[in-house]
Structure 1
């Protein structure tokens, strides 16, 4: 159920009116097309769109609001004064008060449209994020209704969902229906959907879930990370070993002490930790997960997809790994 707030200021309808910019000694104003001065040329800039009911003026980095009779509605005191979303009757404002930066969404009279005691956190489109008595909420800036009531410790807008946390547990809520998509049982870790998948933490264990709530990688691992598109997952188990998993949840490499997960490269390299006193050794696996070299190299070199081969060291000896996964003694570049 959507709860209505106090009545929001009505949208103002106005026929489009056009003015021309005038300049005098480096200052700007407005005049109508008959030459009548609407705003004297004494401001650093003048901002006006024909469908807006009021005119914003700037003087030395501060903004104010006036009507077409050159009467000030809001004084020149705001460091930012912008029309809020698609409304023409309310404004996003930034200003200083008692030495502190303040933000608000206000009418032409300077009164806030936010609920009493609400602190503006920001907005995305028409969605206004506020904090009320230490709790986050979301308000529809067009209708003046709560999208999410002030009961959450944190709310984050993520595409078609909200990531919400309450009492240290988090989940997802659908923006359109406001129904819970993913229950608030997951640990308070920042996460987001990519490629229809999301990494979550449940009772200290990481897993991967799809948009339908199906578990793709079970919640039994110490850590899971991925590249920017959530197509390959680097999974660390309780033995602190790492392996790569597909977006379908299939493990396709063996467990190593470390393995890269960047699919933009030609091969993945891994590290095999040695017995005490020995040095680390590195090896390579191909995109299918097949180990093509064994852990024999002194240090890793990134193999980019554009490379023909890369130069490696094996016990001080120079070798070359080709794009086909072959090890040669001669340079193949």
Structure 2
């Protein structure tokens, strides 16, 4: 696929602050620096002056929120007032948890908290990518083990390698009982072996304390040495050794919790390097004996894609929202997870679905189709982005950028020299070589004046590439309320704050009946702004036992809600209880993070009386069940046997 990528480094800034923290309105700031104005629309911008060599995101809790910044070639910590609380003495740092970071000094790694105190002094040779299930992998002298958040070595450093934990399981390897036999196994958070990796299989990629599981499973390989002169098959493919022997590599999948082989190691490497060893939404496309097929996480072959048997077949980007873009003999179309051809290959290029629409290219012009294949926005743009959770995508005409909504209406004029996707309600726009920010209404919040802006994803900072194929909307421009910006070669921070508290919304009790698969169920639900909002746990309880059941877990320490599709719901008490309130209630927006099958998703939620309420249609779209409105019967109908359709 021709990428045609427009790349603009939007680099994130966190800076060591020796000067005062300043506050000013967006318009006043723009006038003082550029002798022009930008509209502030009731907000103000706080800054920590750009004067530092480099920076990382703010982290911590309500008691202490700090950021790493670099000065004189070393890293230290500042607070939100810009005051230095830890002098710059560290050589490097990297993510560990929301309240602590790994720090390196004299080639050794330790752990520091957001209060500026060292939890573990630098003593480890290597550390993993962070804390998962409360543990982080660390190593000394080539031996790996695990520490907890207090720095205690809870699993001894005895392994030759160790992965990060994922859902209570990690992958380790070592020599046991002073034996020369090398064993690869899966352990739980107590260090107990729960399963062994079969001896004929291996994980050949980098481990080093990183997350390696894919939707709860592990892709593995088997290798076989074959002398071609002794083989009757001329179809075998593999790497030649210096002696002429071929090394044949095959791929399979193992369940780390049981050691069960889900897919026998008899598949060729996945069809494309970009999707190699990757389930997405529970499905992957693999190849065997020259044939492609769809498999699910239970190891079942869903379809062997017979319609593409003799075609030149390309599969690059995985299943997204239940569909995959595929290329057949140079033309692009879409298949669903059953292998059914939803849109015949007829487009010059095609991108993944995002928020119900997918970009397609015809005669060098881009437009959008829906999941039925209907053209919603006719091909007319030179370049496009993905539709974000906010419902906007950037478009390009004649090298100028703007934004459209899902109906194709231009909501931000096509006038900028660059633009990013929307992230957490804001998008970067470029004028000349300077970057600023607009909000969801398209209003300029920060006039373009910065050289660069960083984004953060997980524990890592990164350049923001304005690239069509990137759909990771979990990235953040603002972390703990601050974005990091570069001005005249130095880094600082900006924070956008409303000049007055955001008004609360009125939530009216929903008078409509609710049918779940034809059966009436009583909910405590509210109408906010014309949409119906339900308690998440009420919906999980009501759908339990259906094809669309899901589990709900709460992590108070991380202020995060975890959703697991296809899992039995575990009641916690209080589900489907109705208070009988008949008067309007006060609703305020909630800021909890929400994860679906380990991936962060963006949903609008409100707190009403201490409970979080979610838009029913958002949940229907997330888990793909039908939501319809019967006006004559004043009834909301939920059908778990039907797929979700937009209003």
Using the size of structure 1 for normalisation, the TM-score is 0.51
Q: Pick the structure with greater CA Rg.
A: 1
Instruction: For 1:182 and 1:193, locate their aligned partners in 2 and report how far apart those are by CA, in whole Å.
Output: 12
* SS in structure 2 at match of 1:211: coil
Instruction: For 2:278 and 2:445, locate their aligned partners in 1 and report how far apart those are by CA, in whole Å.
Output: 51
For 1:26, which of 167, 178, 194 is the aligned residue?
A: 178
* SS in structure 2 at match of 1:94: strand
Instruction: For 1:136 and 1:96, locate their aligned partners in 2 and report how far apart those are by CA, in whole Å.
Output: 22
- Gap change, CA 1:93 and 1:291, over 3 Å in 2: closer
Q: Does 1:171 align with 2:333?
A: yes
Kept in 2, the 8 Å contact 1:182–1:213? The answer is yes
Instruction: For 1:43 and 1:234, locate their aligned partners in 2 and report how far apart those are by CA, in whole Å.
Output: 56
For 1:148, which of 305, 313, 316 is the aligned residue?
A: 305
Q: How does 1:178-193 map to 2 (within 5 A)?
A: 178-188=339-349, 191-193=351-353
- Gap change, CA 1:250 and 1:96, over 3 Å in 2: same
- Gap change, CA 1:291 and 1:185, over 3 Å in 2: same
* SS in structure 2 at match of 1:252: strand
For 2:442, which of 278, 289, 298 is the aligned residue?
A: 289
- Gap change, CA 1:25 and 1:175, over 3 Å in 2: closer
- Gap change, CA 1:311 and 1:266, over 3 Å in 2: farther
Q: Does 1:231 align with 2:391?
A: yes
Kept in 1, the 8 Å contact 2:284–2:319? The answer is no
Q: How does 1:1-333 map to 2 (within 5 A)?
A: 25-27=177-179, 43-45=181-183, 64=199, 78-79=201-202, 93-97=221-225, 98-103=245-250, 119=268, 121=270, 124=279, 129-130=286-287, 132=289, 136-138=292-294, 146-149=303-306, 150-152=309-311, 153-155=313-315, 157-159=318-320, 160-176=322-338, 178-188=339-349, 191-226=351-386, 229=389, 231-237=391-397, 239-264=398-423, 268=427, 270-273=429-432, 285-290=438-443, 299=450, 304=478, 306=481
Instruction: For 1:250 and 1:179, locate their aligned partners in 2 and report how far apart those are by CA, in whole Å.
Output: 32
Q: Encode CA deviations 1:69-99: one digit per residue, 9 max, x unaligned.
A: xxxxxxxx65469xxxxxxxxx975114235
What is the CA-CA distance between 1:168 and the residue it aligns to? 0.5
What is the CA-CA distance between 1:198 and the residue it aligns to? 1.6
What is the CA-CA distance between 1:245 and the residue it aligns to? 1.3
RMSD: 4.9
Kept in 2, the 8 Å contact 1:137–1:151? The answer is no
Query: Normalized per residue, which structure has more helix?
Result: 2
Instruction: For 1:80 and 1:282, locate their aligned partners in 2 and report how far apart those are by CA, in whole Å.
Output: 43
Using the size of structure 2 for normalisation, the TM-score is 0.29
What is the CA-CA distance between 1:323 and the residue it aligns to? 5.0
* SS in structure 2 at match of 1:288: coil
Instruction: For 1:252 and 1:267, locate their aligned partners in 2 and report how far apart those are by CA, in whole Å.
Output: 14
* Corresponding residue pairs, total: 230
- Gap change, CA 1:234 and 1:24, over 3 Å in 2: closer
Kept in 1, the 8 Å contact 2:365–2:382? The answer is yes
Q: Encode CA deviations 1:281-327: one digit per residue, 9 max, x unaligned.
A: 7776443124578x8x654676859369x9999xxxxxx997569xx
What is the CA-CA distance between 1:221 and the residue it aligns to? 0.7
Kept in 1, the 8 Å contact 2:400–2:418? The answer is no
- Gap change, CA 1:271 and 1:46, over 3 Å in 2: closer
Q: Which residue of 2 aligns with 1:70?
A: none
Q: Which residue of 2 aligns with 1:11?
A: none
* SS in structure 2 at match of 1:193: strand
Higher relative contact order (CA 8 A, sep 6+): 2
What is the CA-CA distance between 1:148 and the residue it aligns to? 0.5
Instruction: For 1:288 and 1:218, locate their aligned partners in 2 and report how far apart those are by CA, in whole Å.
Output: 24
Q: Which residue of 1 aligns with 2:234?
A: none
